[in-house]
Structure 1
Amino acid sequence: MIKRIWHGYTTHENADTYQALLHDTVFPGIEAKNIPGYRKIELLRRDLGQEVEFMTIMTFDSLQNVIDFQGEDYERCYVPAEAQRVLSRWDLTSAHYEEIEHHDY
């Protein structure tokens, strides 16, 4: 499994709007692409005082599945225009990690 990890940051005023946008539009749009090997997306949120950080973790079966989703420049971030309007900054690239062990307790 491959984990694709990305961070975006926004103001406290825009945090709930951004979270709703992900839930209502962005995530369903990704899932509608029916990408082979795409398993799930996780959303994490953290208050940093001056801003709010969001982290997404997408899970794919293989790096080739990530390439199928994002193209040959697969490290490039995927931030739709409507999300860019409420984010104050974001990672320009995503990091990719191989899952080497997984425990469900």
Structure 2
Amino acid sequence: MISRIWHGWTTPANADVYERLLRTEIFPGILARKVAGFHDIQLLRRDAGAEVEFVTIMTFETLDAVIAFAGPNYEEGVVPDKARAVLSRFDATSQHYEIIETRQNRQRPPNF
């Protein structure tokens, strides 16, 4: 399994706009592509004072699945124009990590 991690930052004024864009357009668009080997995407948000940081973590079965999603230059960030318009800055590249082990707490709340 491969974890693809990417960071973007925006102003506090644009943070809700960006989050809404991710939830209503970008993430549904990723899911609609039905990329073989794509498992899930997580969105993290953190108030960092003058900026709001967002992190996306995508999980894929293999590096080939990452390439199917991002293309042959798979390390480059995939940042649609609408997202670029509200982001102050963002990672030019994504980081990819092999997931060595995952342990889950089976008592997690059902809505998590």
TM-score class, shorter: over 0.9
Q: CA deviation at 1:71?
A: 1.1
Q: 1:11-90 counterparts in 2 under 5 A? A: 11-90=11-90
**Structure 1 Cα separation of the partners of residues 83 and 3 of structure 2:** 21
Computed over aligned residues only, the root mean square deviation of the Cα atoms, in angstroms, reads: 0.4
Question: Could you list the runs of 5+ residues in structure 1 that have no partner in the other structure?
Answer: none
Identity within the alignment, %: 56
2:86 alignment partner, SS class: coil
The aligned amino acid for 1:2 is I
Cα distance in 1, alignment partners of residues 11 and 70 from structure 2? 27
Distance in 2, Cα, partners of 1:97 & 1:64: 14
C-alpha offsets along residues 44-90 of structure 1, whole Å, 9 cap, x if unaligned? 00011010000000000000100011111000000000000000000
Deviation beyond 3 Å, 4+ runs, structure 1:
none
Equivalent residues, number: 105
Taking structure 2 as the reference length, the TM-score comes to 0.93
Q: TM-score, normalised by structure 1?
A: 0.99
Structure 2 unaligned spans of 5+: 106-112
Q: Which has the larger radius of gyration?
A: 2
